[in-house]
Amino acid sequence: MKLGTKFIHAGVEPDPSTGAIMTPIYQTSTYVQEAPAQHKGYEYARSQNPTRTALEAAFAAIENGKYGLAFSSGVAATDAVIKLLKPGDEVIAGSDMYGGTYRLFSKVFEKFGIKFHYINMQDANSIRQYVNGNTKLIWIETPTNPLMNITDIAAVSAIAREAKALLCVDNTFASPYLQNPLDLGADIVMHSVTKYLGGHSDVIQGCLMMNNQILREQLYFLQKSCGAVPGPQDCFLVLRGIKTLHVRMQRHCENGKTIAHYLRNHSKVSRVYWCGFEDHPNYEIAKKQMRDFGGMMSFTLKDDSVNTAKKVLSSTKLFALAESLGGVESLINHPASMTHASIPREERLKNGLTDSLIRLSVGIEDVDDLIEDLNQAIG
Ligand SMILES: Cc1ncc(COP(=O)(O)O)c(C=O)c1O
């Protein structure tokens, strides 16, 4: 199936009880059994729910995986992956990634004896020096949030295989429309479904996709044992969101390209971080592993002061000043004080995340209106 057909039909069958074309919201906590342990495959809704079953089949299909699992947030999905590990295990993760992932690793799991190495992954080979017998997981985000750095997924997956470690890719920024890490050798794909998959800024949800059945059973065990499952109404909304993913992403990409070039040519803008520029340090890798370059970008101003950045952040009228990304509406964000505030300032600066960096999630509005808005805000 081609992408557009897959996104519309993934995982969804007419409802067996009525033929409803849209999977119903099974708003139930439990299921009546004919006799003890005699049931239709559904016992208790933390373990199984038919709306979630359809969504999990859709998740698997859109990432070309065999299995999908839904979680109550992206962070809960990440949490399940780390719970595969035990004290003494080591993780190699990117130094430039979503602040909440860093917070989960450093503030929650380090104290249980899991060791994390945060490194620059723009050159995949730099990972090798951190690999040892305890390395059990390599965690990558590409493109990264918020600096749009690119990591070569196929190259890292070869390193992970040699090290007998799992490779998990946070594919939130790209979405399955642009990039499919399982096809490039990753063991697990993770999404903050809250973003492009949901697409309408109305759901918090996460997911994991994989091909290996044993890994699926281990992660399903964690999903039901730890209990971070999404409700059926949220599952329904995401099933609906996925049906238009390709159409939305196409427009995100078109608008993103126009705005990235507009910013680059603006006399008051200093640097634009967007992986579709031919002089982006890993443009060739981005071109190889992505179908297009998306609508996420960050930029700094020539007047590199926090106050000037804050003035721009407070002046846009269409770009809403808010955390999150990937919805149909455009958002503007200040990573240093919002999405990445949980990363210590020295760490942020070391990775190039300055106090004046501005991040945009370019939506699917008319691009002329978006440019007019940025023009009046930047001045
Ligand atoms: C790249 C990335 N990964 C993971 C997350 C966490 O997802 P959630 O907010 O759905 O828990 C986010 C949230 O912003 C994100 O941007």
Summarised one tens digit per residue, pLDDT across range 20-49 is: 999 999 999 999 999 999 999 999 999 999
Q: Extract the tokens encoding 148.
A: 């749009």
What is the rounded distance in angstroms from the CA atom of residue 313 to the CA atom of residue 345? Answer: 20
- Confidence bin at 78 (pLDDT 50/70/90): very high
- Please tell me the least confidently modeled range out of 6-15, 60-69, 178-187, 215-224: 6-15
- For residue 60, pLDDT over 90 is answered with yes
Does the Cβ of 75 fall within 6 Å of ligand 1?
yes
What is the Å distance from ligand 1's center to 120 Cα? 20
**Catalytic residue, candidates 170, 234, 292, 373:** 170
Catalytic residue among 15, 31, 46, 287: 46
Nearest CA to ligand 1 atom 8: 74
Q: Tell me the average pLDDT across 104-116.
A: 98
Confidence of residue 197 (pLDDT cuts 50, 70, 90): very high
Size (the chain), residues: 379
- How many CB atoms sit inside 10 A of residue 313's CB? 20
Q: Quick check: 343 pLDDT over 90? A: no
Residue 324 CA: which ligand 1 atom is closest?
14
Lookup: tokens for 323? 């955390």
Q: Encoding tokens for residue 154?
A: 């196929």
For ligand 1, whether the C-beta of 198 sits within 6 Å is no
pLDDT tens per residue, range 301-322: 999 899 999 999 999 999 999 9
Ligand 1 centre and the CA of 98: distance in Å?
7
pLDDT in tens, 121-175: 999 999 999 999 999 999 999 999 999 999 999 999 999 999 999 999 999 999 9
Rounded distance between C-alpha atoms, residue 231 and residue 197, angstroms? 16
Residue linked to tokens 């640097």: 271
Q: Which atom of ligand 1 is nearest to the CA of 145?
A: 1
Q: Count the Cβ atoms, other than its own, within 10 Å of residue 278.
A: 7
* Ligand 1 contact via 194 beta carbon (within 6 Å): yes
Environment class of residue 29 by beta-carbon count within 10 Å: exposed (0-12), middle (13-18) or buried (19+)? exposed
Decide if 273 contacts 259 (C-beta within 8 A). no
Q: Are the C-beta atoms of residues 130 and 119 closer than 8 Å to each other?
A: yes
- The answer to whether the CB of 172 is under 6 A from ligand 1 is yes
Euclidean distance between the first and the last CA atom of the chain, given in angstroms as a whole number: 47
Residue 339 has pLDDT above 90, yes or no: no
Yes or no: say if 31 and 40 are a contact pair by the CB < 8 Å rule: yes
Average pLDDT, the chain: 97
Give the integer Cα–Cα distance in Å for 151 and 142.
6
Q: Is the pTM of this model over 0.75?
A: yes
Residue whose CA is closest, atom 14 of ligand 1? 324
Query: What is the average pLDDT across 238-261?
Result: 98
Q: Which two tokens stand for residue 169?
A: 């890719």
List phi, psi (to 5°) of 91: -125, 135
**What local confidence, expressed as pLDDT, does residue 284 receive?**
98
User: What residues are paired with 13 via a beta bridge?
Assistant: none
Pocket residue to mutate for ligand 1, from 72, 105, 145, most atoms within 8 A of Cβ: 145
Q: State residue 280's pLDDT score.
A: 97
How large is the average pLDDT for residues 205-232? 98
Q: What does DSSP say about strands 135-141 and 90-94: parallel, antiparallel, or unpaired?
A: parallel
Q: Which residues on adjacent β-strands are paired with residue 69?
A: 208
- Residue 59, pLDDT score: 98
264 is catalytic: no
Supply 241's token pair: 């969101």
